[in-house]
Structure 1
Amino acid sequence: MRLAAKVIATLGILVLLILTILIALLHTRHAAPVLSQLVASLSPYTLSSEQVDYDIRRPWHLTLQAPTLSLDDNKLLHSDNIELWLSPATTLHNAFRRLNNPKLPFHWAFDSLLIDGINTDTQYETNLAALSQLPAMSSQRLALKNFSYHNNNLRLEHAQIEVDHWHSPALVAHTQSKAEHNLASWGHFSGNFRLAAPSAQWQQYPITQLLLDGEKESGEKEKSRWTLYGYSFNWQGANIGGQAELTTSDSTHQLHLHQLSINQLRFNSAQRSQELVSQWQTLLPANTTLSIGRLDINNGHIELADLAFNQLNLSLLNWDSQHNVWQQSHSQLSLSADSILWRDSLWQQPLLDLSFTPKQIELVGLSSELWQGYVRAKGTLTPDTLALGQLTLNNLKVFLPANWRQQAQTWLQPLKQISVEKLDIGYVQLTAAEAAFPFHISGWHLDGQDLTLKQADQWGLWHGKLTTNAGFASFNTVELIEPFVRMTSKQGHWQLNQLTLPFSHGLVEGQADIDLASAAKPWQLALSVDSAPADILAKWLTLPLPLSGSIDSQISASGLAANPLSLAYSLSGQLEAQFRDLNLNLSGRQLAQQLSQWPTSHKLETDPVTMQTVTHANQVEEKQPTKLATSLSPLTITSERGHITLSPLQLENEEFKATLKGSWDLAAPKQQRLQLEILQPCRWIRVWQSTPNEMDDHQQTTSSSPCEGNNI
């Protein structure tokens, strides 16, 4: 026992002596070579430094000036200086653990490790390979000062990085999970971290005053959570900051932006926005979902392909990118701007406030100056309904695009029900310069209360009161002066109480009603026409009769509108018209040509009818058309349960005489007869006729009589 005690005492004295000598040498100029020799003796690494600073008053603190760590002549690490605070208790504990289990690696443990002036060049993969060969070590606190980092996607200049509980790559390989090992080419840490850099560059975008302050937590089953208590940087002239949290696992990743504030953003490229989205997706791990607690954009200027914001202020709350717009839960969007340019429409001073719940978007408020006027609205939108509490349009000057009908149909097609509690349209100018039917309305007013305009996917005034008038209107160049319409509806019974269409020297008045709620949809119509311009026949009804003059008419009709078959069996009524001061702008031959082409685009029956004309071989020179005083006999059309009769109608002037007569049955469109006869001075007859046949359902014939003299 005494011998063993003496041996232990001797070893202890030798250890103390060696430590004393070592400590003494660390205070001399020989400290650097002594430390290099010590590292070479205890490990396969080579350490060189210009100077080693040591103070006995801080026995576990050591400073190395311009150190270089190498392995097999490969430089692993070089910096301006390194300060390290050794953790002797942890280091000895690791040594004893290795004695009990030789498979465990020995690693140096430090309370703090400060590296100043480290630099990684563009050879990123080479640097990672070098870092992976660092000795097994750990530090309760790792700090990098004046750190410069360059690779293909990211550049950091003079950055400062601080992390807690850092383990070198060699230690990670033995102590961490496979997933952590794959992500830890630079090592592994958990706990608080901080990154500050005066300048940086991500992709081609420069960043200044970058600051990240957060915490990393490692959980079970290869889960980890990154929490950014604060981040801020300047990018594209904007100051960006906020808080965020990233939760990762082996299969899913969730990024939650607790707050994101963007001030004074300047962005003016649609292509760059697409590149930015692509690079953002590359930066995040695959299968990453994004949710936003609060997003604020203040005084932003953004220009994209067909959308531009000036002085934009936007606030978005509780948004989840994993869900579409109809699946958001208690989300809100508020927007204001100096101006917004969208598809050549300038919205000035817009205000928008939206609230999102599952399958519903509430338009809390919308107001804006638009098209030299003002727009205001509020209401609720679901995937198939639109319920507006208020819609106000004042002083707008609207020029409808060529395809406005198709656009409106596309937007409104998904909606099965549309209602407006309060509709107010005032002093609006509406212009459509379409070739088929151009129109212009000036001084348009429309007032509506409790309106249901579409129900069960069927258009109509299902409920409410609607009154509209205008100072002036023109439909296909036919002018109206102060037209007026008033209608009401209750429980689907739609009534046209007053229709007044004043022309410059004439008037059309009418009333109508239809029961939309009834299965049969019965309806009736009454119109009174006094001195209406005759050109409405061609311009409104597309009849090939370019007449000028006046029309007096009385029209009454009724029927069922449930479907075309119901209408065919129920249409009853009468049309009587008288014509005054008529002039025809076509010659007889030109009129015949137009009449011969007219049924091609306006068929009287479902199936096409073969039509022939009888002409004479001799032709006469046609005179230039002039306005010819023309007389037209009174027009009488009667209908009894779908059977329509056209009494003979005669059109006559000094050049020709034409007669049109016939009848047809809407319920049996294959049985019809319509005859047109023109004399100038030759006789030209055209007959459309369908007759029953025992072999076929029907057959179509034409008949004519020969001309005498010159034919048209």
Structure 2
Amino acid sequence: MYTTLKSLGWLITFCLLSVVTFLSLLHTPYAQPLLNPLVEKLSDQKISFGELNYSIQDPLHLTISEITIHTDNELIIQRVDFWLSQHPIQQGKLAFDSIKIDGLSLQNGLPNTQRADWISIAQLSISNLDFANDDLVIRDAQAQLTNWSIEKEKTLPFEGDFQFSTQQLYWQGEALDDVLIDGYYSEDYTALHGISLTWRDSTITAQAELKENKLWVIPQFTLRKFNLESDNADIIGKPLAWLSQQHFTYQFERIDLLDINVELPQFSVNNLSLSAENVLLPYHLWQQSNANISFNADSLVWNEHVIEMPIFNLILNGKEANISTLSFDIFDGNIQLAGKISPTAINLTSLTLSQIKWLLNETEVAAIQKYIKQLQQVKIAELDVNNIQLIQLDNEHPYQVSGINSEGHDLDLLRYYQWGLWDGKLSLSASSASFNYLLSQQLLIEMNAENGLWTIDRALFPLAEGLVGLNGNIHLTQDSQPWQLEAYGDGLPISYLTTFFPNTIPLDGVAEFTLNANGLAANRDSFNYSFNGELNINTRDMITTKTAQELWQYKLGLIPDEDQEKIPAAQYPIHIDPITITANRGRISIQPITMTGKGFNYNVEGDYDLVNPGDAKTITSITQECHQLVQKLFSEEVTIINYCQ
């Protein structure tokens, strides 16, 4: 027993002497020859270093300088400080409480760290880091990681808190300055507690959480003082394309875009401020749920239209936008509205239009028509229109309306894809209006509807030499939609009326008329089969600008000699007997109309069937002496009849 205890005492003494000797050698020039074989054996890599510092007073701390790791790409580290754990072997690995690396250059991407799977580091700190790989370049960076350890089943070799900062980072050719990222990482959860950087004189701050490696929840994202122009427009496209390639969903709990300026060919905006909550990307506008968006700017230009002082606040909920405020200046006027809008419905609590002067072009009209066709419902609780001007000249029926004023209450304007006044009260007036160059001044329309019974109380269109008025009603909610109309007028230019009928001759003068009509309007067939009415026309001051011979040539389509000396158009009086046209269940009967002029007669007679327009027997004819030209209504064919003996 004594011998055994004596042998054990000598063994412990020998181990202590060995440790003391090893630690003592670390203070001598023999440190490098001693450690190099040991490190190479453990790491399977050839490593050399220039200087080693160790103090027996701090036995777990070791400093090595000018380290060179000889790999395919030689790796040089200026200095490394090691703090060995008090429990140096943990889970089969050499454990360090902390390792601090100062001065590391990785110019060929990340090194292969699989050979370092024999160590674990509770706290890893890297300073003065330079890195380059593909389109990412980092200069003078600092990084701190916790729980660093190489594991085959892990994507990244650490888990826990981390921090990264650098004065400058290049990504996809863009310089990001003063970058700071502070967060936490694990295999199934990542939190970025703080992100801040400067990009093209703008600042970005954000927070984010990655859940289940699918959804990025972003509590806050702020972009300040950002400028986008045509010559650098791709700086947005590249990062957005990269984000879309990652196949993540991004849930923004809060977005703030402040002092933003954009200058692109089709769109520009000055001093934009936008705040949004609960926005989900890459889902489009009508897929958002409870997204709250506020927007204002000094001005913006869209499709060459200048919009001043736009302000809006809305909530997107499914396929509907609930607008609490929308106001902007455009076309020298102002638009304000509040209510709900969707791709197929408009339901406004208020709409105010003031002082707008809008010259519509074909593109704008086509866009409006396309949007209107997809609508299923339009309601406006309060409508207020003040001094509006609308002009549209580049189509076959040009029009211009000035000084429009309108007031409406509880308006239901579209149901089941059918426009009309289903409910509510509406009045409209204008200082002047022209359609196909027919001018009316101080026009007035008043109408109301209740439970689908739409009544036009009065519609007055003063003309230069008279007045046109009408009233009527239609019951939109009844299946057959019965309607009736009464119209009257005096001083209506005949030249204007003839533009709507084929095979006419050049006429001028004025007409007085009365019209009473009724029928059903459920669809085109029911209208055609049910149309009843009577139109009476009396004319006065009738003239034509062509002689009998010229009318004959005109009907034959003969072109006058262009070389003939032009003289002011003469006026030839014409007499027309009173005209009566009746309709019974879609069959229109025209009592013979005779126009008598010097040397000719012009006649219109026959029937016209709305149900079968191809069977129309309405004939127009012009007779000069014993010659007659006969033409069927809506036909280009002309027949010549000779009654001469």
Q: Is the 8 A contact 1:39 1:47 kept in 2?
A: yes
CA distance in 2, matches of 1:594, 1:462: 48
Query: 1:502 maps to what in 2?
Result: 462
What are the within-5 Å matches in structure 2 for residues 559-574 of structure 1?
A: 559-574=519-534
CA distance in 2, matches of 1:141, 1:330: 43
Of residues 154, 159, 162, the one that matches 2:141 is: 159
Query: 2:170 maps to what in 1?
Result: 201
Q: Is the 8 A contact 1:583 1:627 kept in 2?
A: no
Displacement, 1:148? 0.8
Displacement, 1:539? 4.5
Displacement, 1:572? 1.8
Q: Is the 8 A contact 2:409 2:424 kept in 1?
A: yes
Displacement, 1:81? 0.7
Q: CA, structure 1 residues 321+44, in 2 after alignment: closer, same or farther (shift >3 Å)? A: closer
Classify the secondary structure of the residue corresponding to 2:151: helix
Deviations 1:444-478 (A, max 9, x none): 11111111110122111111111111112221222
Q: CA, structure 1 residues 569+329, in 2 after alignment: closer, same or farther (shift >3 Å)? A: closer
Letter of the 1:204 counterpart: G
Letter of the 1:120 counterpart: L
Displacement, 1:335? 0.6
Query: 2:83 maps to what in 1?
Result: 85
CA distance in 1, matches of 2:360, 2:544: 34
Classify the secondary structure of the residue corresponding to 1:172: coil
Displacement, 1:707? 5.8
Query: 1:145 maps to what in 2?
Result: 127
Of residues 260, 263, 270, the one that matches 1:310 is: 270
The worse-fitting range, judged by mean Cα deviation, of 539-548 and 204-213 is 539-548
Query: 1:626 maps to what in 2?
Result: 569
What are the within-5 Å matches in structure 2 for residues 349-388 of structure 1?
A: 349-388=309-348
What are the within-5 Å matches in structure 2 for residues 91-130 of structure 1?
A: 91=89, 93-94=90-91, 97=92, 107-121=93-107, 123-124=108-109, 127-128=110-111, 130=112
Deviations 1:96-137 (A, max 9, x none): x5xxxxxxxxx322111111111111x33xx53x43334522
Classify the secondary structure of the residue corresponding to 2:569: coil
Displacement, 1:271? 4.0
Letter of the 2:511 counterpart: I
CA distance in 2, matches of 1:655, 1:11: 147
Tell me if 1:26 matches 2:26.
yes
Displacement, 1:626? 2.7
Q: CA, structure 1 residues 441+427, in 2 after alignment: closer, same or farther (shift >3 Å)? A: same
Tell me if 1:279 matches 2:242.
yes
Any gaps of 5 or more consecutive residues in structure 1? 98-106, 219-223, 598-614, 691-700
Of residues 483, 496, 499, the one that matches 1:523 is: 483
CA distance in 2, matches of 1:638, 1:43: 107
Letter of the 1:262 counterpart: L
What are the within-5 Å matches in structure 2 for residues 290-439 of structure 1?
A: 290-321=250-281, 323-439=283-399
Letter of the 2:572 counterpart: A
CA distance in 2, matches of 1:572, 1:160: 89
Displacement, 1:297? 0.5
CA distance in 1, matches of 2:488, 2:346: 37
Q: CA, structure 1 residues 453+589, in 2 after alignment: closer, same or farther (shift >3 Å)? A: farther
Q: Is the 8 A contact 2:546 2:572 kept in 1?
A: no
Deviations 1:422-452 (A, max 9, x none): 1111111111022301111111111111111
What are the within-5 Å matches in structure 2 for residues 31-50 of structure 1?
A: 31-40=31-40, 44-50=44-50
Classify the secondary structure of the residue corresponding to 1:275: helix
Displacement, 1:702? 9.2
Tell me if 1:260 matches 2:221.
yes
Letter of the 1:705 counterpart: I
Tell me if 1:486 matches 2:455.
no
Query: 1:172 maps to what in 2?
Result: 151
Displacement, 1:687? 5.0
CA distance in 2, matches of 1:40, 1:648: 118
Of residues 510, 513, 532, the one that matches 1:550 is: 510
Deviations 1:556-588 (A, max 9, x none): 111121223322332222111122222324555
Q: Which has the higher strand share?
A: 2
Q: Is the 8 A contact 1:372 1:395 kept in 2?
A: yes
Deviations 1:313-345 (A, max 9, x none): 111111222654444332211111111211122
Displacement, 1:708? 4.5
Q: CA, structure 1 residues 492+543, in 2 after alignment: closer, same or farther (shift >3 Å)? A: farther
CA distance in 1, matches of 2:38, 2:195: 43
Classify the secondary structure of the residue corresponding to 1:568: helix
Classify the secondary structure of the residue corresponding to 2:618: strand
Deviations 1:654-687 (A, max 9, x none): 3532111111333454654222221244522325
Classify the secondary structure of the residue corresponding to 1:189: coil
Of residues 197, 200, 203, the one that matches 1:236 is: 200
Letter of the 2:352 counterpart: T
Aligned residues: 637
Classify the secondary structure of the residue corresponding to 1:705: strand
Displacement, 1:294? 0.5
Deviations 1:34-72 (A, max 9, x none): 33244346553333222111122211111111111336x
- TM-score (structure 1 length as normaliser): 0.84
Classify the secondary structure of the residue corresponding to 1:661: strand
Q: Is the 8 A contact 1:630 1:651 kept in 2?
A: no
Letter of the 1:114 counterpart: K
Q: CA, structure 1 residues 207+585, in 2 after alignment: closer, same or farther (shift >3 Å)? A: farther
Of residues 506, 512, 536, the one that matches 1:576 is: 536
CA distance in 1, matches of 2:454, 2:405: 21
Deviations 1:506-526 (A, max 9, x none): 211111211111112111111
Q: Is the 8 A contact 1:635 1:649 kept in 2?
A: yes
Of residues 410, 435, 460, the one that matches 1:475 is: 435
Q: Is the 8 A contact 2:177 2:197 kept in 1?
A: yes
Deviations 1:148-186 (A, max 9, x none): 11111211110001010011xxx323xxx2xx2xx34xx
- RMSD over aligned Cα atoms: 2.8
CA distance in 2, matches of 1:271, 1:192: 34
CA distance in 2, matches of 1:596, 1:75: 95
- TM-score (structure 2 length as normaliser): 0.92
Any gaps of 5 or more consecutive residues in structure 2? none
Identity of aligned residues (%): 27
The worse-fitting range, judged by mean Cα deviation, of 255-264 and 407-416 is 407-416
The worse-fitting range, judged by mean Cα deviation, of 431-440 and 205-214 is 431-440
